[in-house]
Structure 1
Amino acid sequence: MRLPGGTPPARFFFVLCIWRLVPRRDAAGTEEVVFGKVGGSILLLCRNVSKEATEVVWFQGDPHSFPPLFSSRVTFPPDVRFSLVDNSSLRITELRLQDEGNYTCKEVLNRTDHEHRVQLVVANPPQAAPKCWAETSSSGLMLQLFCSWPGGYPHPTLHWREEGHDLENSSWVISSSSSSDTHVETLNSSHLSHRKVFKCVGSHVVTQEEPSCTVQIKVPSLESEPPKTCFEGDNVTLTCRVTESSPAARLTWLRGITQPEEEVQAGGRYLISQEGNVSHLTIQNCSQGTDGGCYVCKAQNPVGLRELFVCLTVKQPVNVVGVVGAVAVLSLLVILTATGLVLYYNPLLCLTGAAFRNQDLGDVLVLVDSEDDEEEKGEEEAMSSSIKHKVMALVNGNSIQGAYLNCLTEGDDGEQHSRGSLQETREEETQGS
């Protein structure tokens, strides 16, 4: 019968007895820490091994535990990931997190028991690359630079430095490091300037690369909408927008030039809201006496301060009913004036025709002397001709004047009919006499 790994039982128990007989005294040894990467391989060296050593035994955890992890002379139930190199050093492939821990190698040499202790750390590479950003401290006066590189084990080393800094001509340089997933550096505003760049460099035990990220700080920039107008009693909203700022700016509203130190507080008729980089000041029930004028939008971060004027005009409300009534009266006056002009220049055209049409000319008997007949007829014809000429002079495609012309034509026909009736009457009277 053989034990797992092909070791004869007699030899196995012989080695076991020898190991039990080895003196258990605290042996002089060295300590070291080695780092391995998950999925990679690592070689644990057994240092200070004597050339006369007949056997090297490796333990994981307690160096006096049984059975040992590996022996140069006896193969215990094997893990194919473990093997010996040069009959002393331990190689581990396909590293796992559970492989992390303390390892001890012992040499078996007559009356000596040399040991060497190794701490194995199985590390993970941090995810992606470091990320950088800037924030304002709670006091509002300090700048905080954040550099984060999570997912690594053990913690990476993060180093902040000022990019493009002239070391020879300046007495101040940022240079700080820490071993953590996130490194925060706090700076006073006196060391800051517009568009200055800071760089964070990361390093980790399992990678030779040193990824980095940068952050550029900026003074706030503002833009606003055109001046606003509000009628008394209505509501109006003033808007202020930050176009760029690093870190983010704090936005406040001041009550204009007359009261430059008075900050507008939310409450009562004033509502203040902020959505991202846009601030809104809503004034309810506008008052011409108290709300009109220019307001100041103030944006501030540790790098600097910017201010922008936003002006508001408050007007009296317009009487819509009065305006509509005035327009109606004006329109009526225009119509009446036009009608009056037409009647002034042509007062008798249609009235004359209408008078002749509405009377029964057959019932009218006009007695005139025969001697005056011809003279009267001539005067009537002259009058008719004169009226026709005047009407023709006024007619230039106008529909109203055309209507008057029709009236005149009908009136002439009536006059001719009347004159015919009178002539017949006179002839009958002459014949009778």
Structure 2
Amino acid sequence: MLNMTVVNRNNTGWYRCVAQNKVNQERSDRIWIDVIYGPDVPQIDVTPYRLTDRGYTAVERQTVSLLCQAQSNPPSQYVWFYNNSQVYTGPQYTISRILRIHTGTYACQAQNTYLNTRSMKTISLIVYYPPEGSPSCSVLPAMNSSSLNLTCSWTGGLPSPSLHWTRDLLTLTERGAGLWDEGANHVSVLQPGSQTSNNTLFTCLGTHPALNTPTQCTARAWSPNGEPVCSAFATRNNEYLLLSCSWEGGSPRAVVWWEGPKGEGSTQGVETANILVLHSNSTKNGQAYICYAKHPLDTLTRTCKLTLEAPVLLTQRSMVSVFEGNDVQLTCILHANYPPADQIVWLNNRRQEVEQEVQEALATRKYVLRRAAAWANLTVLQTDGKTDSGQYWCSANNAVGGTEIPVTLLVKRYPMPPNVTLVRLVYRSRQRLQVELEWQIKGEGEGGEGGGLTGFILERRLSTALGRRGEGEDDTTTAPAEQQELLHEKRGSSSPWQQVAVLGAVERAHTMGNMTPTDTYQIRITAVNHRTLGHPSPPKTPADPPFNAYPAVIGAAIGGILVATLATVLLFMYIIRNNNNRT
């Protein structure tokens, strides 16, 4: 008899009893002793195998296999749990194209259904995934623009990517650059500007367990070209004055700041461009403001200077003369102007601002205003001596002051033309429909710059008749007292003068038509020198044409001859006919 007091899994196997003596040996049939046990604590194998101090890891979109094995008799039944939720039954759990959402705890439970016993093993599985895109590089000024702050960042990913700066295939820390900051997804390095040549290329290399090859970004450091540029401009109505300073280009951007005579803006350093806001007033006229610019690759501090000035105006001629009726141009030039003036303004001789007239008023406009940023010209059209002569003003204002200059316009009259006298004024016929005129000038005019004579103006008016007058008789002829009184009444009741024609300077005769035979007219003529009118000639009334009997006598004689001839012919014909009848 075999008595086993402590049975374990190692006792499992075939057993038989053997009896023997010196003569014979007998064996019994085999018997199988099956020791029931388990399950033991399962063992989990992860393929592909990656184990860290935080647990197993896998790369996103890989196929991951989890195999669970536990010693048990009879063999165990296996159940898989993901974050305490059953997901699979069986010893091997395979996840095709694993994703980051599959990160968590996985537990394998082994169960002995005969003994109704269970055991469990839990592991942690982390799914690695790379950051999106590629690293981002930037270079900024640091340490009062004496050094470069090279910053490389690459957000996202699990675990965080590994980043480091290189130049010429060596890391910057190996070349003496100081590590400024290093975080989970970024790294910053201070590179002294004095140790960096212009147009240097820096490279940031990024690696990640989920990527087979490293990725990179670059940043180039270069100095701006030229010098900083200063400018000034004002807000609407010159309320504020804005001083702008910029130094374009370069990487990183240069830092610029203003310094004024009273310390304005000395602590306001800004990249690339800086605007200093000042209240506009005349006390800033002549003051200088300096803009400073600094770049890490430039050992010098660059400057530009801005001096504020009120406008200075110039004109080609402070006094301009012109003959009336002509156009004249007044000029105004902006000689010095910083900040720029809003606009150059012209004031006429009544101190009224001249504005550009609209297109609809071109036919009646008085002024033409043409202007640009640095000049403005005022043209006075059809000048008149009474209304246009005087002092005109050119004015300009900016944020620090204003100025104006006068321009005197003298509109001169043309010389007085010579006096004119009507020497012949008579109707062409007894029908009184047309009047023939002839005139003479009494002198050649006063001459001078404008000339003496440019034409004649012929006028007429209706008048109450005092009886027929002789040819060309003057209305001012001496008359008895009664007729003089009637003459004054007639003149008082005459209609206004009407212009009939404008004649050329060389003409000395004219025929006036459109006369009403029953009306009595007064006619006069005036010499004109451009816009200067001479003294009108004394008014005269046209005379009737003289009576001429010679044409009537000749006509009567010819008629008598024709009648006598006709009578003689008829008598001769009668005598011939009677003689024929007798024979």
TM-score if structure 1 supplies the norm length?
0.52
Distance 2:75 2:208 in 1: 38
Determine whether 1:300 maps to 2:294. yes
Contact 2:245 2:273 in 1 (8 A): yes
1:172 is aligned to 175
Cα separation, 2, equivalents of 1:199 and 1:92? 38
Structure 1 residues 254 and 265, CA gap change in structure 2 (3 angstroms): closer
CA 358–297 in structure 1, closer or farther in 2 if over 3 Å, else same: farther
CA contact (8 A) 1:82 1:92 kept: no
Q: Give the partner amino acid of 1:147.
A: C
Q: 2:528 aligns with which of 400, 403, 408?
A: 400
What is the match of residue 377 of structure 2?
none
Name the SS for the 1:303 alignment partner. Answer: coil
CA shift, 1:414, in A, is 4.7
Give the C-alpha shift of residue 357 in structure 1.
10
The residue type paired with residue 162 of structure 1 is R
- Within 5 Å, which residues of 2 pair with 1:19-168? 19=39, 32-33=51-52, 34-43=56-65, 56-57=69-70, 73-77=75-79, 92-93=95-96, 94=98, 97-100=101-104, 120-137=125-142, 139-163=144-168
Deviation at 1:156, TM superposition (A): 0.9
Q: Does 1:218 align with 2:212?
A: no
Once the two structures are superposed, residues 17-70 of structure 1 have per-residue CA deviations (whole angstroms, 9 ceiling, x without a partner) of: 4235x8xxxxxxx9943531234323579xxxxxxxxx9339xxxxxxxxx9xx
CA pair 136-220 structure 1, distance change in 2 beyond 3 A: same
Rg comparison, structure with higher value: 2
Q: Could you tell me which amino acid in structure 2 is paired with residue 172 of structure 1?
A: R
DSSP 3-state at the match of 1:159: strand
Secondary structure, in 3 states, of the residue corresponding to 2:307?
Answer: strand
Q: Aligned equivalents of 1:302 and 1:72: distance in 2?
A: 77
CA distance in 1, matches of 2:38, 2:301: 84
Conserved 8 A contact 1:134-1:144:
yes
Equivalences for residues 242-391 of structure 1 within 5 A: 242-255=247-260, 264-266=263-265, 277-287=272-282, 291-292=285-286, 294-304=288-298, 307-315=302-310, 324=349, 328-329=389-390, 334-335=410-411, 337-340=412-415, 345=446, 360-363=476-479
Letter in 2 for 1:361: T
TM-score (norm 2): 0.41
Letter in 2 for 1:123: Y
Whole-Å Cα distance in 1 between the matches of residues 244 and 295 of structure 2? 19
> Which letter maps to 2:477?
L
Q: Secondary structure at the match of 1:190?
A: helix
1:265 partner letter: E
Shift of 1:282: 3.7
1:239 aligns with 2:244: yes
Q: Distance in 1 between matches of 2:474 and 2:532?
A: 17
Contact 2:475/2:540 (8 A) holds in 1: no
Letter of the 2:291 counterpart: C
Over 3 Å counting, the alpha-carbon distance change for 1:309 and 1:399 in structure 2 is farther
Cα shift at 1:212: 0.7
Change (3 A) 1:345 1:180: same
Contact 2:36/2:74, CA 8 A, preserved across alignment: no
Q: Which amino acid aligns with 2:38?
A: I
The alpha-carbon deviation at position 136 of structure 1 amounts to 2.8
- Tell me how far apart the structure 2 counterparts of residues 215 and 392 of structure 1 sit (CA, whole Å): 89
Q: 2:38 corresponds to which residue?
A: 18
Counterparts of 1:224 and 1:313 in 2: how far apart (Å)? 15
TM-aligned CA deviation for residue 237 of structure 1: 2.9
Q: Which residue of 1 aligns with 2:499?
A: none
Cα separation, partners in 2 of 1:137 and 1:173, compared to 1, 3 Å: closer
**CA RMSD across the alignment:** 5.9
Aligned residues: 315
2:206 paired with 1:202: yes
How far has the Cα of 1:135 moved from its partner?
A: 2.2
Question: Does the CA contact (< 8 Å) of 1:134 and 1:215 recur in 2?
Answer: yes
Deviations 1:83-136 (A, max 9, x none): 768xxxx85543554544598999xxxxxxxxx998643212111111111223
- Structure 1: unaligned runs, 5 residues or longer: 1-13, 23-29, 46-54, 59-67, 107-115, 256-261, 366-390, 421-433
Structure 1 Cα separation of the partners of residues 89 and 207 of structure 2: 30
How far, CA to CA, are the matches of 2:158 and 2:239 in structure 1? 62
Contact kept in structure 2, 1:296 and 1:310, CA below 8 Å = yes
What do residues 227-258 of structure 1 show as CA deviations (whole Å, max 9, x unaligned)?
889xxx98543322232232233221134xxx
Which protein has greater RCO, CA pairs closer than 8 Å, 6+ apart? 1
Larger helix proportion, structure 1 or 2? Answer: 1
Decide whether the 8 Å contact of 2:160 with 2:184 is kept in 1. Answer: yes
Structure 2: segments with no counterpart, 5+ residues: 1-33, 42-48, 81-85, 111-120, 314-343, 352-387, 393-407, 419-444, 461-471, 482-504, 509-525, 547-583
Tell me how far apart the structure 2 counterparts of residues 193 and 208 of structure 1 sit (CA, whole Å).
34
